[in-house]
A and B are shown apart, each in its own frame.
Chain A
């Protein structure tokens, strides 16, 4: 697409959004982005070396091959658009010192505060838990109440601190049982050498029973359901915790079991060509580009069809 054509679309999109926002009174032009996330948002391993590559991140990246959310806002809305990412490799939604509430607290401490916030967390909440020896492979994962409490602790802070007209998007998390299959298909090196030697997500990579891996995946669907429920409660202020009407959005529309294949990050089955060869569990540049495209297509500022992103 040439520069002229790329610049026409944003104007049209902006016009639609601004005209819509006049009625809603709850939208402001994108000025600054911050994010809460983990190694996926840090672009870990995206170019085949075993460390972070934030330039290749779906959220904060500057590599045109990814066309990140940061670049899209800068391209379509404002050349002076800026960002101050807070994602940390290793972070969980719930646990540790870099969890979602902690990262939300850091976002609120920024000056100036951002008016666009992207959130993608959860993989480590699953992969860091001990395998269960009971009939339920997901028995040692965080309970839904725990998951919800952590999300609320983060959203409470963002709803209170972000400027009027801000938009927060919380993406659904990918299913690690499908990442297992992508890595398994990629190479014997992944499943036979790297995963056991480097202890990569052993809750699924050390689980031989596909039905038990599905139990983990189904638990992730339930986590994503909670994200959708909490986002709806905050966005509509039906829980009374967002009186300033900060906008909250998510990509999750429901699980594949409910017919929602390829409608969100959480219902996309990554292919073996979309994960890296370092730990065979993180998206490479192509996988990051799909995340960015999906996030944009489901963001109130964006446009496009998720199915086009994930074909």
Chain B
């Protein structure tokens, strides 16, 4: 146990150092004009782009969806026709290859057997909380303050004392633009504790707007356990 405790801080430090980050770039007027999912009232400087290399792992399902991986972070996305990849590309066809299209009709084709370079575009509030792996989010306190001011927490909850050996707050519904959704929570999640105390929505929202760290223990089918938020 002592050996584990000695290793832990080093491991955490190294994991933070090794977190893949792809540099954010400004977008052009053409890219701004080609956004498939612009935020109403936004301007070009509200967006940033990232250069990625992606690989088509495969296509399956009814209706068909394509599994595409970013070869730097290895995060994958399952894309069906109509799904957006960031705010700049929408999935147009899914067959043996997939075609992504922007609002001006420019297309990118991702086929099997080769890696393809493309740019993904996000709005600044899309990055108010970014998943960085290992059940950890990097949160921008200032962006989260803006999210809370615009959209609030965005949840309906119910107290559940009957399911688990500890009291839980169930997220009955989660609005996509609200603070809880940005922090990665979904409808059907059961929240147990925030930093060792019973979790409340108000406490999570307040904590997410101030630099520091918070850990939320929760149950989600398929992904139970603790979530860590590094608030910068």
Contacts and interface: CB of A to CB of B under 8 A. Distances in A.
Interface of A: 39, 42, 44-45, 48-52, 62, 82, 84, 86, 88-90, 94-99, 101-102, 104-106, 109-111, 124, 127-129, 132-134, 139-143, 145-147, 149-150, 153, 193-194, 197-202, 278-279
B199 to A, nearest CB: 13
Contact of B135 (A88, A110, A132): A88
Interface in B162-189: 162-166, 188
B120 interface: no
A93 to B, nearest CB: 10
Contacts of A62: 1, 4
Contact of B60 (A101, A110, A143): A143
B67 A52 contact: no
Given A51-B225, A143-B58, A84 B7 contact: yes
8 contacts: A88-B134, A94-B57, A97-B74, A98-B135, A106-B15, A106-B133, A145-B112, A153-B74
A39 B225 contact: yes
- Report the 10 A-B pairs with minimum CB-CB distance, sorted nearest first: A90-B223, A146-B58, A89-B225, A101-B74, A143-B60, A109-B18, A149-B57, A102-B74, A199-B221, A145-B58
Nearest to B219: A50
B232 interface: no
Given A42-B225, A106-B133, A146-B57, 12 more contacts: A50-B219, A51-B217, A52-B226, A82-B7, A88-B133, A88-B134, A106-B134, A140-B60, A150-B76, A153-B71, A193-B162, A278-B164
B133 A52 contact: no
Find the residue from B59, B78, B166 having the highest chain A CB count within 10 A. B78
B14 A109 contact: yes
A279 to B, nearest CB: 7
A200 B58 CA distance: 26
B21 to A, nearest CB: 13
B149 interface: no
Q: How large is the interface on B (under 10, 10 to 19, 20 to 34, 35 or more residues)?
A: 35 or more
A193 B219 CA distance: 15
Given A52-B226, A145-B58, A193 B163 contact: yes
B135 A84 contact: no
Contacts of B221: 127, 198-202, 279
A197 B69 contact: no
Given A106-B18, A128-B222, A194 B163 contact: yes
B57 A51 contact: no
Nearest to A282: B224
B18 A146 contact: no
Nearest to A81: B3
A215 to B, nearest CB: 14
Contacts of B15: 106
A41 to B, nearest CB: 12
Given A45-B224, A89-B135, A90-B222, A140 B61 contact: yes
Interface hub of B18, B57, B225 (most chain A Cβ within 10 A): B57
A186 to B, nearest CB: 16
A111 B15 CA distance: 10
A105 B164 CA distance: 35
Most chain A C-beta atoms within 10 Å of own C-beta, residue among B4, B74, B75, B225: B74
Interface string B188-232: 101010000000000000000000000001011111111000000
A45 B74 CA distance: 28
Nearest to A140: B61
Contact of A139 (B62, B131, B226): B62
B164 A50 contact: yes
B11 interface: yes
Nearest to B75: A97
Nearest to A62: B1
A136 B131 CA distance: 34
B67 to A, nearest CB: 5
Nearest to A148: B58
Given A49-B166, A140-B60, A142-B60, A84 B20 contact: no
Contacts of A105: 20, 73-74
A132 B62 contact: yes
Contacts of B188: 198-199
Contact of A140 (B62, B112, B163): B62
B225 A97 contact: no
A198 B131 CA distance: 23
Contacts of A147: 58
A50 B224 contact: yes
Contact of A99 (B62, B74, B132): B74
Nearest to A197: B163
B55 interface: yes
Nearest to A102: B74
A272 B213 CA distance: 39
